[in-house]
């Protein structure tokens, strides 16, 4: 039985709580500056699932007016490769920055320097108004949180629950380590943030969101390492529960796109699981063996959920490919 | 019998005579009669009708009996699960206060109708999702019924919820495992399992794996564990019981600490180790646990002897 012969209802499977896993296919996030003259080319060539736009505030003139002028075109340019677009906002100046940067074409904002849930409430209320004034569907814009402060970890559950707009925790391990007073050199043989990472993954999942991050020590060094090393690091990050990573180098993107999803081999195995279990059920069996392991209801559910994940990742790749074709033609 | 002693709670499938008829001979502290994942959908109703006789079968060797019901079928399952002889109801994938309160109310009604002492059947929210984990404290406060905490780490359901493949060689549940256990401890509720032990094979029938798991739990002060295969029973029961050496040490600590107290001291040394109020409290805990285990083992031995005699006649 090949993958295509699984019935649609078996492939389009959500978790027990009715939510798909993961909520978003955002395996690779790439940050680019709107001031970069090669913004469009870099965005197009990156194949990132999402792009975060950073900006600088012009000195000696009205920076808000300047950004308002430039941002719509920058959003269009960044989206040419089919990536979702987010704007990175500093919580400390959030209202002014939001007003200057939120336009049609973005999926949401990434807030940094968040310390407490009230920060999210304030931004959410601001987005309510901006959606109306700028012709964006009400409630559409997402709030993602870049975790770079101890307060964001400590209040993570309240932050995630502060607004329906919450989507993702992105762990900025370098900044967080600094805020916690930890060494920036990865000299330990264990991950000192293991518990915090697990906390953010669990909390984000509990509200139907997800967390993005990388495994230690690459999470801290952010090095441009070899493919094998990156592949191993991504696998561990995925096994930790991360659904993607912010890529400091364009070279990371391919490995994140391939690694933060069930592999072809895994998808083939899930197909077998579904097939064998369905056959067992037809004989009145609640558990059946497959390659030395027992397949029962939770294993079958997992296979369907993860196969759906693989399908959605593939669809995301196809959508980006179409965007590239459209642009090149 | 003392339900506190559940060094090994093994899942048993009531619809499979090969499993349910022999379970009592295996020596487990607890048998969990499963109405959930080990029962095929087409067998659910037949399983319900088998529960009363399954309870009797499972208890023959002196074990406690828990029943795992189905989250989507709480109303349909509980009338078949709440009977005299049942010690605990396990509610899978618990996430909200309302789910627990609903189950509690039904159990209370059935206890009244069936002459079961009110509130005597314990309730165990099984934490198998991120939402359940972060809600653990509210869940344990949700009803007046005695609660036990179960889960937070491992298990297919938690893995699917978090979107991870199981059986990695590192602890994938660092937060939910510890948070659920800690939350339970703040409520003076005992927790089942929360310590990472590598098992990259994913097999559940290897006794050496059970021994490693028991050693890790024992070190962490957790005395309860679950099992899916009889091969786990003996290693878990042995590994989670205090050793002769541990009880001898506990007796010596208590004696030495009493002597310290008599002379107005609170810290001293015994065989080169510091003893203080914490060591004294730990020693008392060890002896209480040893006593509970001995009682349970004696009860099981008597029950087993009687059951075998009945069988012979």
Chain B residues in contact with A286 by the CB 8 A cut-off are: 13, 37-40, 43
Whether A87 is covered by a domain: the verdict is yes
d(CA B116, CA A47): 64
Say yes or no for a CB contact (<8 Å) between A241 and B163: yes
Say yes or no for a CB contact (<8 Å) between B172 and A206: no
Q: Predicted ipTM?
A: 0.90
| SS3 of chain A: helix, strand, coil, percent, to 5 | 50, 15, 35
**Nearest residue on chain B to A266, alpha-carbon basis:** B165
Average pLDDT over residues B43-65: 96
Residues A206, A298, single domain; the answer is no
Residues A169, A229, single domain; the answer is yes
Residue among A109, A72, A80, A76 nearest A329 (CA): A80
Average pLDDT over residues B240-267: 96
Residues A312, A180, single domain; the answer is no
Cβ atoms of B119 and B92 closer than 8 Å? no
Whether residue A233 is preceded by a cis peptide bond, meaning omega within 30 degrees of 0, is no
Candidates B152, B162, B171, B205, partner chain A, best to mutate (most A CBs within 10 A): B162
Residues A312, A231, single domain; the answer is no
Q: Nearest CB to A202: which of B36, B95, B176?
A: B176
**Nearest residue on chain B to A289, alpha-carbon basis:** B203
The residue from A199, A228, A259 where one domain ends is A259
Q: How far is B178 from chain A (nearest CA, A)?
A: 9
Whether A145 is covered by a domain: the verdict is yes
Say yes or no for a CB contact (<8 Å) between B163 and A286: no
Q: Is the dihedral of CA B217, B222, B226, B227 positive or negative?
A: positive
Residues A249, A283, single domain; the answer is no
- Residue B7 CB-density burial (10 A; 0-12 exposed, 13-18 middle, 19+ buried): buried
> Could you tell me which residue, B205 or B43, shows the higher pLDDT?
B43
What are the boundaries of each domain within chain B?
A: 9-241, 244-294+304-312
Say which DSSP state B275 is in.
Answer: E
Angle at B239 between CA B236 and CA B241, to 5 degrees: 105
Within 257-296 of B, beta carbons closer than 8 Å to A belong to none
- Terminal-residue alpha carbon distance, chain A: 38
Q: Nearest CB to B163: which of A21, A207, A297?
A: A21
* 3-class SS of residue B311: helix
Residues A217, A318, single domain; the answer is no
Residues A103, A232, single domain; the answer is yes
Residue B104 contacts by C-beta under 8 Å, 6 or more apart in sequence? B123, B142, B143, B144, B145
Q: How far is B160 from chain A (nearest CA, A)?
A: 6
Say yes or no for a CB contact (<8 Å) between B37 and A286: yes
Chain A residues in contact with B39 by the CB 8 A cut-off are: 286
**pLDDT digit string (tens) for B113-172?**
999 999 999 999 999 999 999 999 999 999 999 887 776 667 788 999 999 988 888 899
Whether A153 is covered by a domain: the verdict is yes
**pLDDT digit string (tens) for A286-307?**
889 998 888 988 899 999 999 9
Residues A112, A174, single domain; the answer is yes
Backbone phi, then psi, for A69, in 5-degree steps?
-70, -40
Q: In the CATH scheme, what is the homologous superfamily, with its name and number, of domain B9-241?
A: Phosphoenolpyruvate-binding domains (3.20.20.60)
Say yes or no for a CB contact (<8 Å) between A281 and B41: yes
Chain A residues in contact with B157 by the CB 8 A cut-off are: 16, 298, 301
What is the model's pLDDT at position A2? Answer: 39
B157 touches chain A (CB under 8 A): yes
Say which DSSP state B209 is in.
Answer: H
What pTM does this model have? Answer: 0.92
Residues A252, A277, single domain; the answer is no
Q: Nearest CB to A305: which of B40, B133, B160?
A: B160
Using an 8 Å CB-CB cutoff, list residues of chain A that contact chain B: 15-17, 21-22, 157, 194-195, 197-199, 201-207, 210, 236, 238-241, 243, 266, 280-281, 284-287, 292-294, 296-299, 301-302, 305-306, 309
Q: How far is B96 from chain A (nearest CA, A)?
A: 12
B13 touches chain A (CB under 8 A): yes
What is the model's pLDDT at position A239? Answer: 95
d(CA A231, CA A256): 8
**pLDDT digit string (tens) for A179-211?**
999 987 888 888 999 999 999 999 999 999 999
d(CA B80, CA B73): 11
Q: Nearest CB to B43: which of A15, A195, A284?
A: A284
Whether A294 is covered by a domain: the verdict is yes
Say which DSSP state A108 is in.
Answer: E
What is the model's pLDDT at position A8? Answer: 43
Residues A124, A152, single domain; the answer is yes
Q: How far is A180 from chain B (nearest CA, A)?
A: 18
d(CA A17, CA B162): 12
The residue from A259, A291, A314 where one domain ends is A259
Residues A138, A198, single domain; the answer is yes
Q: Which structural domain, as residue segments, surrounds residue A162?
A: 26-259
The residue from A210, A230, A259 where one domain ends is A259
Cβ atoms of A16 and A311 closer than 8 Å? no
Residues A268, A323, single domain; the answer is yes
Task: Render each residue's pLDDT in chain A as its tens digit; 329 residues.
Answer: 333 445 444 444 555 555 688 999 999 999 999 999 999 999 999 999 999 999 998 887 899 999 999 999 999 999 999 999 999 999 988 899 999 999 999 999 999 999 999 999 999 999 999 999 999 999 999 999 999 999 999 999 999 999 999 999 999 999 999 999 998 788 888 899 999 999 999 999 999 999 999 999 999 999 999 899 999 999 999 999 999 999 999 999 999 999 999 999 999 999 999 999 999 999 888 889 998 888 988 899 999 999 999 999 999 999 999 999 987 77
Chain B residues in contact with A157 by the CB 8 A cut-off are: 134
Candidates A206, A209, A310, partner chain B, best to mutate (most B CBs within 10 A): A206
Cβ atoms of A112 and A91 closer than 8 Å? yes
d(CA B35, CA A315): 38
* 3-class SS of residue A260: coil
CB–CB contacts below 8 A, A to B: 114
Whether A166 is covered by a domain: the verdict is yes
Structural domains in chain A (count): 2
Chain B residues in contact with A158 by the CB 8 A cut-off are: none
CATH number of A71's domain: 3.20.20.60
Tokens of A64: 């808000």
What is the model's pLDDT at position B181? Answer: 87
């Amino acid at each position: 039985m090949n993958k295509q012969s699984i019935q649609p209802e078996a492939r389009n499977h959500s978790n027990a709580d009715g939510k798909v896993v993961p909520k978003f296919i955002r395996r690779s996030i790439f940050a680019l500056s709107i001031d970069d003259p090669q913004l469009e080319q870099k965005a197009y060539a990156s194949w990132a699932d999402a792009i975060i736009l950073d900006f600088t505030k012009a000195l000696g003139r009205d920076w808000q007016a300047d950004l308002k002028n430039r941002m719509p075109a920058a959003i269009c340019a960044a989206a040419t490769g089919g990536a979702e677009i987010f704007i990175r906002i500093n919580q400390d100046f959030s209202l002014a920055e939001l007003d200057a940067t939120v336009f049609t074409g973005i999926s949401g904002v990434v807030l940094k320097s968040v310390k407490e849930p009230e920060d999210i409430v304030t931004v959410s209320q601001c987005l309510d108004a901006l959606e109306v004034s700028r012709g964006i569907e009400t409630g559409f814009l997402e709030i993602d949180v870049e975790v770079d402060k101890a307060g964001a970890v400590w209040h993570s559950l309240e932050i995630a629950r502060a607004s329906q707009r919450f989507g993702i925790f992105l762990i900025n391990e370098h900044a967080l380590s600094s805020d916690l007073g930890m060494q920036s050199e990865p000299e330990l043989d264990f991950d000192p943030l293991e518990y915090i990472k697990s906390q953010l993954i669990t909390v984000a999942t509990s509200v139907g969101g997800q967390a993005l991050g990388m495994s230690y020590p690459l999470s801290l060094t952010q090095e441009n390492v070899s493919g094998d090393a990156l592949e191993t690091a991504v696998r561990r990050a995925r096994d930790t529960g991360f659904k993607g990573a912010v890529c400091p180098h364009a070279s990371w993107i391919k490995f994140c796109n391939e690694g933060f999803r069930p592999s072809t081999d895994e998808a083939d195995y899930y197909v077998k699981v579904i097939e064998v279990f369905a056959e067992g059920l037809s004989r009145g069996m609640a558990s059946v063996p497959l390659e030395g392991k027992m397949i029962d209801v939770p294993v079958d559910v997992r296979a369907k959920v993860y196969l759906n994940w693989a399908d959605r990742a593939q669809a995301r790749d196809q959508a980006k490919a179409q965007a590239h074709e459209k642009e090149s033609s | 019998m003392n339900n506190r002693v559940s060094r090994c709670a093994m899942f048993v499938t009531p619809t499979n005579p090969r499993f349910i008829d022999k379970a009592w001979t295996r020596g487990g502290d607890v048998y969990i009669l499963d109405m959930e994942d080990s029962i095929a959908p087409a067998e659910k109703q037949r399983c319900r009708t088998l529960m009363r006789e399954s309870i009797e079968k499972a208890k023959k060797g002196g074990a406690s009996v828990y029943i795992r019901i189905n989250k989507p079928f709480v109303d349909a399952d509980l009338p078949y699960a709440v009977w005299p002889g049942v010690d605990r109801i396990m509610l899978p994938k618990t996430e909200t206060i309302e789910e627990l309160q609903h189950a509690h109310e039904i159990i209370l009604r059935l206890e009244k109708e069936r002459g079961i002492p009110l509130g005597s059947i314990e309730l165990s929210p099984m934490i198998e999702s991120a939402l359940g984990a972060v809600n653990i404290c509210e869940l344990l406060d949700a009803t007046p019924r005695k609660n036990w905490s179960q889960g937070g780490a491992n298990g297919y359901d938690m893995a699917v919820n978090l979107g991870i493949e199981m059986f990695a060689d590192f602890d994938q549940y660092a937060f939910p495992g510890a948070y659920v256990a800690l939350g339970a401890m703040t409520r003076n509720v005992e927790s089942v399992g929360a310590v990472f032990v590598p098992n990259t094979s994913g097999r559940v029938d290897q006794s050496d794996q059970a021994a490693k798991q028991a050693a890790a739990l024992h070190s962490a002060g957790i005395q309860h564990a679950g099992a899916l295969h009889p091969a786990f029973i003996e290693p878990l029961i042995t590994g989670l019981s205090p050793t002769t050496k541990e009880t001898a040490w506990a007796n010596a600590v208590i004696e030495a600490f009493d002597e310290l107290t008599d002379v107005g001291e609170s810290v001293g040394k015994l065989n080169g180790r510091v003893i203080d109020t914490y060591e004294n409290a730990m020693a008392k805990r060890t002896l209480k646990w040893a006593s509970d285990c001995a009682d349970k083992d004696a009860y099981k031995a008597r029950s087993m002897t009687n059951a075998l005699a009945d069988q012979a006649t």
